[in-house]
Amino acid sequence: MLAFVQHTRCKPEAGGVLIGRFIRDSADIVIDEVTVPMSGDRKRRFNFWRSRQPHQQVLDKSWLESGGTSTYLGEWHTHPENIPVPSDTDIKNWQDRLKKDIFNGDTLFFIIIGIKILRVWDGSKTTLVFRLLNDNNSNS
């Protein structure tokens, strides 16, 4: 994912899905894999739109190969700013993911990779509320 940081003005936003698993008898979640921009995705300087089918194929393959333990955990994308903040479009998209996507549990994770740091939010399917999980911008 860090290969897609928007260090230069000509670099477009990029994104994909988070694939991983819930650790049995634990509250831990592991992200094992992420998809990267694929054919059909639309990348612009201030916008990324993920095409559903190619990313879903990767998810389906991962799920089958893992015997059903590997699952969709959320989304990631880049922003052309040092400390990323979700846009109104991001929030709407995240709410759509929580309402429309099929996933295990009540929570999805959303990562935005800025130029200097990345930030992670979780979102609740029940409340549609997002919570910032890390805020290490004191290092920037």
Which amino acids are annotated catalytic? 13
Per the structure block, which two tokens stand in for 119?
Answer: 């930030």
Q: Cβ distance 99 to 117 under 8 Å? A: no
Q: Cβ distance 112 to 133 under 8 Å? A: no
Q: What whole-number distance in Å separates Cα of residue 128 and Cα of residue 96? A: 9
Nearest 5°: phi and psi at 77? -160, 170
Per the structure block, which two tokens stand in for 103?
Answer: 């996933």
* DSSP secondary structure code for residue 13 in this structure: P
